[in-house]
Amino acid sequence: MNKVGVRSNYVASVFATQLMLEQKNGLIVNISFYASRKYYGNVIYGVAKAAVDKMAADMSVELKKSNITCVSLYPGYIADKRKKPNPKKESAQFIGRAIAALALDKNVISKTGQVLVAAHLAKEYDFTDIDGIQPKPFDTL
């Protein structure tokens, strides 16, 4: 969890930041989950997700002056092969749409350091999943 889940987010962010500093603009989105705030199955999973959230929060402090936004994004349950609609399951494309909406937001820097929920962003930016459904949040913060 820590070696791959946390370290990979950090390493990718470092390399991305080098490019973003040159252009004085950017968006770093770390995929995390509610386990950082509530027990979901085991301790190390929660610790890894909390580390990802903290990394986004701390990076936002250091990078805000360079107009680089850093956030954590919580998806719901990902289910690409749905047998029937489920308002709490999301396709991988839905998460991509959330990131695209953030990238198009000219005021995205106002969200820097925050934990965001994909289903909440769908309402804010008015997008749906690939099946036309606007999933409900998996959980509340």
Domain boundaries defined on the chain: 2-125
pTM of the model: 0.90
Contacts of 52 (CB under 8 A, 6+ apart): 5, 6, 9, 30, 31, 32, 36, 72
pLDDT in tens, 25-48: 999 999 999 999 999 889 999 999
Catalytic residue among 34, 45, 77, 125: 45
CATH number of 2-125: 3.40.50.720
The reply to whether 45 belongs to the active site is: yes
Phi, psi of 128 (to 5 degrees): -125, 175
Residue 24 CA to residue 2 CA, distance in Å, equals: 30
pLDDT in tens, 67-76: 999 999 999 8
